[in-house]
Amino acid sequence: MERFSVLSIMLDKKYLLEALNHYAKHSENISDVYFAGNLPKPPQLAYQVHFPRVEMVLIGELDMEVGNSLGIDTQYTLKQGGVLYLPAESWNKPVWNKPVVTLTVMAGKQSFGMSLLSWDGQQFDSAIKESVLRRGPRIGAFILNAIEELIKQPESQDTKRLLVSALLSHILDLLERPVETLSKSHALFEAVREHLEQHYHEPLTRESVAQHFYVSPNYLSQLFQKEGQLKFNEYLNHVRLERAKYLLIEYDMKVKEVAHRCGFKDSNYFCRVFKNQTARSPSEYRAQYLSSNIRPMD
């Protein structure tokens, strides 16, 4: 994109589409791609959500304090075209000390949310927000998974730029060719699934989720039988186990802590469910993954 000043642009949907189109077609204009983690504990005023996010600087530059996997505070400076990718549960804290325009992309299971924000050095302009339905939770997920696989490979900036560009291209395609409106029951099913994806670490039950959506527990069960391939409790365990696999691989946490962070009150029950689904205990799963990904010494 051309180098405009923060004060010379009009934040609107047209500008959002132009930004997405530019970086979707010109991955070489994406500068460094950084990653965040969830350690140490996020400071006050930090942003932390339960789904992946992308923070991108469109104009100017932005200092960003972020978490990582080592428990050490880290700060990056995102210049124009710079990207910070935040896996679920990761946190960041922008330092608003320079004029800047940013794009945020939030990858929910049901939709992508986008917002443009302008800071002129003294105050924020009105944020522009857009959202677009996904064509199912798996569409686009492979791009996100591929980006996360590159977290520990700092030398692969070109690949990271191409994957971020592919993600923006996918979102642009959704905006230009929106998904057909879902039936009420399927829309509710997708909303419940997104709720489970975001709140899996809480003490959720079929009854509490049904109450949250103002439906009966029996109706919720019928909804999963009609719209999904797994029953309610099976799907909730699936979400929790997928998150547990990530924590086991990426962080040196005790199995009991992993269980607690993923919503399992009883670590013994967690181990039984995990082994039933993977044919391995959590410790065996971690050990097998680490042994298969050890790089040979030069």
Yes or no: say if 201 and 261 are a contact pair by the CB < 8 Å rule: yes
Same domain (yes/no): 132, 220 = no
What per-residue confidence (pLDDT) applies to 181? 65
pLDDT number for residue 110? 78
CA distance linking residue 266 with residue 12, whole number of Å? 49
CATH of the domain at 279: 1.10.10.60
Q: Do residues 276 and 270 touch, judged by C-beta distance below 8 A?
A: no
Beta-carbon contacts of 231 under 8 Å, excluding residues fewer than 6 positions away, are: 221, 224, 225
Question: Is the peptide bond prior to 52 cis by the omega test (within 30 degrees of 0)?
Answer: no
All residue ranges of the chain with pLDDT < 50 are 295-298
Q: Do 152 and 252 belong together in one domain?
A: no
* pLDDT of the residue at 296: 38
Whether 297 maps to a domain, the answer reads no
Amino acid 294: pLDDT: 52
The verdict on 237 and 150 lying in the same domain is no
pTM for the model stands at 0.66
**How many domains is the chain partitioned into structurally?**
2
Check whether residue 109 and residue 29 sit in a common domain: yes
Q: What is the DSSP string of 31-89?
A: --EEE-B-BSPPPTT-EE-SS-EEEEEEEE-EEEEEBBSSS--EEEEE-TT-EEEE-TT
- Residue 155 has a pLDDT of 79
Domain range for 271 is: 184-292
* pLDDT value of residue 6: 52
- 298 domain-assigned: no
